[in-house]
């Protein structure tokens, strides 16, 4: 399970250090793609295969299905940390997620997310106000 929050800088070449705890859970290779909340999603290969297979079983007759497929798979890259534990984030993904100099990597169960640290702080402060109501609405046990 991927969990925790880790803040790291992005260097001038677009490399981001992936924390050892997350690298261990993600595996030697993993996939980075656009996330739906303006962040990047990071999938272990096993989870990526599940997502890929779920799309492969659909005929994709609806425009929305095709649009989502292009969004997720079109920007996806396979990542492999270098000897220092860094991954290269391509410019198109950095631009999409508005990643500047500081990133926050968040483990969210079956995947991780990479956020611009300032954007995540703003998002998180907004969500914190409503989290009690959301938990009650989702009826967690």
Structure tokens at 16: 């981001």
User: Residue 5 pLDDT more than 90?
Assistant: yes
Asked if residues 2 and 112 have their Cβ atoms less than 8 Å apart, the reply is: yes
In sequence order, what DSSP letters do the residues of 55-75 get, joined into one string?
HHTS---SHHHHHHHHHHHHT
pLDDT attached to residue 59: 66
Question: Beta strands of the chain (E only): which ranges?
Answer: 2-9, 15-17, 30-34, 40-44, 77-79, 86-88, 102-109, 112-116
What would the mean pLDDT of 128-140 be, rounded to a whole number? 74
Under the banding of pLDDT at 50, 70 and 90, the label for residue 141 is low
Mean pLDDT of 103-118: 97
77-97 average pLDDT score: 97
* Average confidence (pLDDT) over 6-27: 96
In contact, 48 and 30? CB cutoff 8 Å: yes
Average pLDDT over residues 56-76: 84
Q: How far apart are the C-alpha atoms of 77 and 33, rounded to whole Å?
A: 6
Mean pLDDT of the chain: 92
Q: Per-residue pLDDT tens for 43-63? A: 999 999 999 988 877 766 788
State how far the Cα of 84 lies from the Cα of 72, in Å rounded to an integer. 28
pTM over 0.85: yes
> Going by C-beta distance under 8 Å and a sequence separation of 6 or more, which residues neighbour residue 127?
134
The sign one gets for the Cα dihedral 67, 72, 73, 75 is positive
132 compared with 6, residue with greater pLDDT: 6
CB contact at 8 A, 112 and 50 = no
């Amino acid at each position: 399970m991927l969990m925790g929050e880790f803040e790291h800088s992005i260097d001038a070449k677009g490399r981001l250090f992936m924390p050892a705890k997350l690298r261990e859970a993600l595996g030697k290779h993993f996939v980075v793609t656009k996330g739906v909340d303006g962040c990047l999603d990071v999938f272990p290969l096993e989870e990526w295969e599940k997502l890929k297979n779920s799309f492969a079983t659909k005929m994709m007759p609806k425009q929305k299905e095709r649009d989502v497929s292009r969004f997720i798979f079109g920007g996806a890259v396979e990542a492999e940390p270098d000897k220092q534990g860094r991954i290269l984030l391509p410019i198109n993904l950095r631009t999409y997620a508005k990643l500047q100099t500081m990133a926050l990597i968040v483990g969210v169960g079956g995947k991780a997310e990479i956020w611009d640290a300032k954007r995540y702080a703003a998002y998180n402060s907004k969500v914190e106000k409503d989290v009690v109501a959301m938990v009650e609405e989702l009826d967690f046990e």
